[in-house]
Amino acid sequence: MNDDFTDLPDDIEALKTALIAALAEVAVAQAQRSSDLALIAYLKLEIAKLNRDRFGPRSERTARLLAQLELQLDELTASASADELAAEQAAAKTSRVNAFDRKHPARRAFPEHLPRERIIVPGPIRCACCGGARLAKLGEDVTETLEVIPRSWKVIQTVREKFTCRDCESISQPPAPFHVTPRGWAGPSLLAMILFEKFGQHQPLNRQAERYAREGVELSLSTLADQVGACTKVLMPLFGLLEAHVMAADRLHGRACWGGRPHGIACQNWVLSQHPRPEPSMNQYKRIAIDTSKAVFTLHGIDQADRPILRINLSRAQMIAFFTKLPAIEIAMEACGGSHYWARELAALGHRVVLIPPQYIKPYVKRGKNDRNDAEAICEAAGRPGMHFVPVKSADQQAQGMVLKVRETLVDQRTALVNTLRGHAAEFGVIAGKGVSNIIPLLEKIAAETAIPLEARETMALLGEEIARLDARLKQMETKLNQAHKANPVSVRLASIPGVGPITALTLATEIDPTAFESGRHLAAWAGLTPREHSTGGKQRLGGISRAGNERLRALFVLGATSVIKVAERPGNKLANEWLLKLLRRRPRKVAAVALANKMVRIAWAMMMSGETYRRAPAAGVS
């Protein structure tokens, strides 16, 4: 374009022609500039990709830089295409300016798997030049246009007709159509699209729900989440097979990024290579500790040098199969409700199983409690020379102990109902004393009190019915317990101890193994009937009882000792021996009850070990 304005023509038409040519030149120059900028952005992106492939990703900034360069390239390419079209339109208005021809990258052919729709345009009947009808086919030109079919939704209605038999009046109907998820409504294609967009395209479910709503199909976020969860459950077997196939490889490569980094520290990406490591030999295991739960079991194994060589998690179904392959080894577990079952199962395979009290394991737990640290602490505690273990209970022992525990639960429920009834009755001015024996008179007072609203009387009558039902259940259980007590010679012999009734005697006979304790003092200490010691510097400091061990057994002995003291205080009673009377003069009644309970435990252990009957101490002389 000429910048000398002195040579402009005076003719208006000539000026218009010159202006059009100038505008065309400007458009061509703008198109050239846009093309250059797009080429520069493309080259920057290629250089960044090559550097990443050569040196590896060094930080999160590299990924963000690539994304920014790709976005910039998209914008510049779109702008260059618009400017090129504008330059072509401007150059078409003048013959003095050549159109700008931007170099486009070579377009690849459309994929072969795409379906082709062939549209044949009818050929001419006559020649467009001379009008002649003698035409011969020379060839054909094929123009390909890439098109997309917008996503369409449809509802498939499966009609299942019902028929009834006139002979037997039964109804016959075809089965319901198959759905991937139970009680599902989504078809397989829809489920596949939802899962692919979530896990393959990283599209959150809330964005999917918004897009579906714009298309006229409203699916809530919770609905999509339910379908994803159901599909995940259905695909777990396939996932397990894929995981087993991948983990069976000799070498694994992957990318990992450390999460939870402090602010200001860039996340580093690196390549992990897991080289094959030979499995430890079956004979190398010295001890395996198991941290049990309902579904997942964490194993920690050590070799003969006490070095950890096994850290795995097993499901409930894999436990027996895993330990069946191992030779006889020592297995340690924390003593709990389900550990006795696993101890019996593993002992049947030939292993030596030990159960450790939880309070003995806690000192060995490292900071940061988790399943692996718990299993390691169990393994460490099991290797201590002076460790005390819990005897493994048989199935019959657990069953008999369950009867005693269920009775205790029913007694607690009855006590709660009695207290509830007495409390509600007190709200309307009806008072009754403590104890189950006062419930029937209390209900009679409530029924006769007309000042109490009918609804309240009916509700309290319902509580009385529940108390009566529990009384009947308790009588049935006590009948069974008395029969079991009479059938057990050890329980009958223990019941001759003053303060030991059938419940306490049966509990001792079924749940206590006397051979597990060196003496009666050890059994009393295990029951928590010895003082808690906090001595230091040569000074002995004794506090209250430790309250360790079997809480229910300790409560039964203290309750029995309290009843003995209550009777022993009567003049001339045979239970009032000299030792007990002197103790009552020196100590309070509750302290004396605990001391007597301790003595009763030691007497019970001696009788269980020797098989002798109880020899009553001589009664104190009556003054």
Confidence tier at 616 by pLDDT (50, 70, 90):
confident
- What topology does CATH give the domain 280-392? Nucleotidyltransferase; domain 5 (3.30.420)
Strand partners, 163: 172
Residues 576 and 137: their CA atoms lie apart, in Å, by 131
Question: Which segment of 27-41, 170-184, 331-345, 463-477 scores lowest on mean pLDDT?
Answer: 27-41
Q: What is the pLDDT of residues 238-289, one digit of tens each?
A: 888 888 888 777 666 655 444 444 444 444 444 444 444 555 555 688 999 9
What pLDDT, on a 0 to 100 scale, did the predictor assign at position 265? 43
What pLDDT, on a 0 to 100 scale, did the predictor assign at position 134? 81
What pLDDT, on a 0 to 100 scale, did the predictor assign at position 166? 83
Q: Give the residue-averaged pLDDT of 148-162.
A: 82
Flag whether pLDDT at 26 surpasses 90.
no
Flag whether pLDDT at 410 surpasses 90.
yes
Distances (CA, A) of 262 to 141, 257, 258, 266, 270: 64, 14, 11, 9, 18
Nearest to 320 by CA among 346, 298, 341: 346
What pLDDT, on a 0 to 100 scale, did the predictor assign at position 138? 79
Who wins on pLDDT, 103 or 174?
174
Question: Which segment of 48-52, 139-143, 254-258, 338-342 scores lowest on mean pLDDT?
Answer: 254-258
Q: Are strands 252-257 and 171-172 parallel, antiparallel or unpaired?
A: unpaired
Mean pLDDT of the chain: 82
What pLDDT, on a 0 to 100 scale, did the predictor assign at position 267? 47
Residues 290 and 299: their CA atoms lie apart, in Å, by 5
Who wins on pLDDT, 349 or 149?
349
What pLDDT, on a 0 to 100 scale, did the predictor assign at position 279? 54
Q: Give the residue-averaged pLDDT of 201-208.
A: 87
Q: Give the residue-averaged pLDDT of 350-373.
A: 90
What pLDDT, on a 0 to 100 scale, did the predictor assign at position 252? 67
Who wins on pLDDT, 245 or 491?
491
What pLDDT, on a 0 to 100 scale, did the predictor assign at position 289? 94
What pLDDT, on a 0 to 100 scale, did the predictor assign at position 96? 55
Flag whether pLDDT at 45 surpasses 80.
no
What pLDDT, on a 0 to 100 scale, did the predictor assign at position 55? 63
Residues 209 and 194: their CA atoms lie apart, in Å, by 10
Query: In the chain, where are the structural domains located?
Result: 13-91, 186-258+268-277, 280-392, 407-484, 488-534+541-623
| Alpha-carbon dihedral sign for residues 430, 433, 439, 441 | negative
pTM above the 0.75 mark?
Answer: no
- The pairs formed by 70-75 with CB atoms below 8 angstroms and a separation of 24 or more are 70/45, 72/41, 73/38, 73/41, 73/42, 73/45
Residues 208 and 385: their CA atoms lie apart, in Å, by 62
Question: Percent of the chain scored above 70 by pLDDT?
Answer: 82
Residues 577 and 176: their CA atoms lie apart, in Å, by 82
Confidence tier at 93 by pLDDT (50, 70, 90):
low
Strand partners, 255: 271
Who wins on pLDDT, 381 or 267?
381
What pLDDT, on a 0 to 100 scale, did the predictor assign at position 351? 93
What pLDDT, on a 0 to 100 scale, did the predictor assign at position 256? 47
What pLDDT, on a 0 to 100 scale, did the predictor assign at position 539? 85
What pLDDT, on a 0 to 100 scale, did the predictor assign at position 76? 66
Q: What is the pLDDT of residues 572-586, one digit of tens each?
A: 777 778 888 888 888
Residues 45 and 276: their CA atoms lie apart, in Å, by 38
Who wins on pLDDT, 384 or 516?
384
Question: Which segment of 264-278, 316-330, 435-449, 591-605 scores lowest on mean pLDDT?
Answer: 264-278
Residues 498 and 608: their CA atoms lie apart, in Å, by 16
